[in-house]
Amino acid sequence: MGQKKLQRFAEIETFPNVLIYPEGMPGKWNEFFKNDHPVTLELACGKGDYTLGLARMYPDQNFIGVDLKGNRIWRGAKTAMEEPLPNAAFLRTQIDKLDNYFAEGEIKDIWITFPDPFLRQSKAKKRLTHPKFLQLYQPLLAPGATINLKTDSLELYTFTKAVIAATGCKTLTDIDNVYALPEIPPVLRIQTYYEGMHLEDGRTIRYLQFQLPAAPLDWRSIKLPSDEEALSGAY
């Protein structure tokens, strides 16, 4: 590991807005933020561009960027301290361990911004919109909570639409080309570092917003189409 990364790993351990594998946090995030505002997560947040953008846009809400890579979290956390953005924080942990850190109904919304699409079919269960993850999120979400996916990956976009159909989720918004809209909603104007690179490459940015069903999910019982079937619309 490079010296710069080692330095950043050491620094984030001293940042008051970064929690690294914390214990005893379920139900305590309002104590951490010192208010009763709702909590929204950005999963696989990287440098936390959406965490920061949403925190600026909604000062009466709290935002937590979740990622395993401390080197990336460092940038977002440092910006949040410099501005300052007291309603932005970062949690370093694995996403599949979220239930160790949040209580039932504690999360208002989830944003998934330009995650790894894991394009190989054998890696589908690692996709953050796979039913396995939706089942993880379900008890942690407050009533009426939304899941928001912003991606340049056609494969992940069509896969997620197939998941929505197979699990009985409710689609609230489906935009197959964000930047073709005559007027882009302010919340979709926030750009991540990777989104800027994708736009420079001429890629299309897609967005889905949906809600989970009321009935508990059992991801093992859900049959999904293959990626080829999803892309062809055969689902």
Q: Which residue in 129, 134, 109 sits closest to 117, CA to CA? A: 129
Catalytic residues: 116
Q: How far apart are CA 136 and CA 216, in angstroms?
A: 10
20: exposed, middle or buried (Cβ count in 10 Å: 0-12, 13-18, 19+): middle
Token digits of residue 148? 């928001």
**Residue 168 burial (CB count, 10 A):** 12
Q: How far apart are CA 111 and CA 92, in angstroms?
A: 16
**Residue 196 burial (CB count, 10 A):** 11
Residue whose tokens read 């990956």? 153
